[in-house]
Chain A
């Protein structure tokens, strides 16, 4: 087994272990911290795949943005040290059964399917290449989804402000 394979299995165990702890721990703040570790592990996995751009985006947006947002909302909405109530036993057992069954079915389908190896030469996935193709307006380019997603982000931002805005009372 080569060093690369060992790194992959360590990363996989780290991602799955911390992910499992994130959904099972009963303290909500710890859950957020385990989620943070899981997301960092996924960023490391992208580095392992030599996709540096996606790894950087993962760290910036997920680790630096979404988890911080989640932690803020935990502090705003509840006492972080308080334990969450235990889910009923029947729900836990049924959820485990459903998840295991789904995993077994999907893994069976994956193991049955034989993936054909690529014939074309690999393209350089460097950041300059990604940027060139993203802003390309020809048929290979992705400038239209980029514009659509930027409009979506603007709409989400305005929507957040409107939803979370405090309504001022009239009698003042």
Chain B
């Protein structure tokens, strides 16, 4: 009997907390717009090809640079005859997958690194954070290009390359959180009762830093999508027939002066929209977590 009541008592506040968080998130109208944009773009990219069949592997040189509105090609075709609308779907898949995966990879690695450094303190902290400082002082794009010139960029490789250097931001953030959290009474109490450092990191530091980390993760995803675009522009994106919005956009650059605007603006707008969407979502999440901190 006592166990059931305690379980109920435990669960009710958790559910209330989630509901309250959701309410705060929904009050931020831009955050909802962000979620809607992301849902629409994701549906367009992943579900679109089910309804709209195009050949995105074989080129068709008889059908290059068809204008939008040509029969069967509502958004025209590009310089090798790929249907532009279908290509936007395929490209969106890569951009979204790489963005999400690299952002999440960076967040996980950074969180663990920062939590350990912040909790360990002393020499370990100093060494671990100087490594972060050193890597941060190498401008990201230079490092990405250096890596991309050594290994052939494929989608998993891009994720690893971007993720391997984007974790520095979250690492700094979590380390800062960990430094303040480790001196909190409940963490010290747990340590006093014989809890290990690992337990402190797993049970207290990471769960408490989760708010900051989540907010940061959304911005990481936005940045990762931009990085893919930059790497494509610099000629080190995934090679054709694979596509991503950034690569389509940079291919479109050379076509602008020939008047092929449909190759430029659609991928450009798609990138802007998805980066904005993740920024809006991040702002909404920040409201959620900050409110909770204030009410405590």
The answer to whether A binds B is no
Give me the interface of B with A, judged by CB distance under 8 Å: none
A residues neighboring B (CB under 8 Å): none
